[in-house]
């Protein structure tokens, strides 16, 4: 089967992860802009991070045969540094229209402060102006209120729920999110958010419509193979292949292709020019695979 991991932070992952993901059937992934585990102190750090998402990481991923897309946004944690947030807001229009940017995100609430609320709303307006989908990060603490409040604010701004993905849902929030018409995403994150056993139960309960599974793998303990592993467990527990395909591939594609920046043909028939640019002439794959020597690694050039 082919899979899409619609939420994974590849800047924190190794080439071993890329190889394992490709071997497990992941053909495309989405890397939402988020924080880096510690707060940035300068707008230039955001600029370089955004450039990495639309440039180097996109290229790196393509070397492993995986199409890379991203979302651009100011995350809620760092929205609390208002002086910096103002500068980052000025950067966003420069990146939001780049190739492969499929949404504004991940945005929403962390502590639910006034500053978070202010930049959340400004970014909703930016997404509406550019006609881009929105990826919502729901908070870990006070999750239920944070999730409901996010949807209230989106509705206040007149957002169409079919263009919004609400991520990190759980058993407590899923029903309301589905009822209000949003794409409902679950992060399979070992130990913390959702385990894949729980996901199978949720699938049995809610069915496959508007449900999306992702890994959110990042710099913490997490599993970039969450999506294919969960699919395997679902199949083993008797969920139909068609339904598994919806939650691990098709729904994410349908939701994010509304950006006009992501389509199935991107990976099904990659243009010849890309293949020659990215694969046949590439020394990471070639020497990495054919010999044990590392002296031709492209990173050394």
Q: Which residues bind other proteins (CB under 8 A)?
A: 47, 50-51, 54-56, 58-59, 91, 93-95, 97-100, 260, 273-274, 277-278, 280-283, 286, 293, 295-296, 298-299, 301
- Residue nearer to other proteins on the CB measure, 154 or 285: 285
- Residue nearer to other proteins on the CB measure, 14 or 97: 97
- Sole residue written with tokens 């309301």: 176
Minimum CB separation from other proteins for residue 59, in Å?
A: 5
> What's the rounded Cα separation, in Å, for the pair 127 and 89?
12
Minimum CB separation from other proteins for residue 60, in Å?
A: 9
Minimum CB separation from other proteins for residue 75, in Å?
A: 19
Long-range Cβ contact pairs of 288-294 (< 8 A, separation 24 or more):
288/15
Minimum CB separation from other proteins for residue 122, in Å?
A: 17
> What's the rounded Cα separation, in Å, for the pair 101 and 105?
10
**Dihedral angle, C-alpha 61, 62, 64, 65, nearest 10 °:** 130
Strand order in the sheet with 3-5: 3-5, 26-32, 67-72, 101-108, 134-137, 164-167, 183-187, 211-214
- Residue nearer to other proteins on the CB measure, 114 or 299: 299
Question: What tokens appear for 146 in the block?
Answer: 């944070």
- Residue nearer to other proteins on the CB measure, 191 or 260: 260
- Residue nearer to other proteins on the CB measure, 63 or 123: 63
């Amino acid at each position: 089967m082919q899979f899409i991991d619609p939420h994974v932070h590849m800047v924190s992952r190794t080439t071993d992860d890329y190889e394992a993901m490709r071997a497990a059937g992941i053909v495309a992934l989405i890397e939402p802009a988020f924080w880096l585990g510690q707060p940035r102190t300068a707008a230039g750090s955001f600029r370089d991070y955004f450039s990495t998402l639309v440039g180097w990481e996109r290229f790196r991923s393509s070397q492993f045969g995986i199409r890379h897309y991203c979302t651009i946004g100011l995350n809620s944690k760092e929205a609390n540094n208002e002086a910096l947030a103002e500068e980052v807001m000025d950067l966003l229009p420069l990146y939001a229209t780049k190739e492969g940017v499929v949404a504004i995100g991940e945005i929403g609430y962390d502590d639910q402060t006034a500053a978070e609320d202010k930049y959340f709303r400004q970014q909703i307006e930016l997404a509406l102006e550019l006609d881009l989908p929105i990826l919502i990060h729901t908070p870990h603490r006070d999750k239920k209120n944070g999730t409901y409040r996010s949807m209230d604010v989106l509705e206040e701004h007149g957002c169409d729920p079919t263009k919004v993905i609400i991520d990190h849902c759980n058993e407590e929030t899923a029903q309301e999110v589905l009822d209000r018409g949003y794409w409902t995403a679950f992060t399979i994150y070992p130990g913390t958010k959702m385990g894949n056993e729980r996901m199978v139960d949720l699938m049995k309960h809610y069915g496959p419509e508007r449900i999306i599974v992702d890994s959110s793998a990042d710099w913490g303990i997490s599993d970039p193979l969450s999506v294919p592993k969960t699919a395997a467990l679902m199949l083993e527990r008797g969920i139909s292949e068609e339904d598994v395909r919806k939650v691990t591939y098709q729904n994410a594609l349908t939701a994010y292709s509304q950006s006009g920046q992501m389509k199935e043909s991107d990976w099904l028939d990659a243009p010849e020019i890309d293949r020659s640019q990215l694969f046949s002439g590439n020394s990471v794959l070639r020497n990495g695979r054919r010999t044990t020597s590392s002296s031709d690694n492209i990173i050394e050039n």
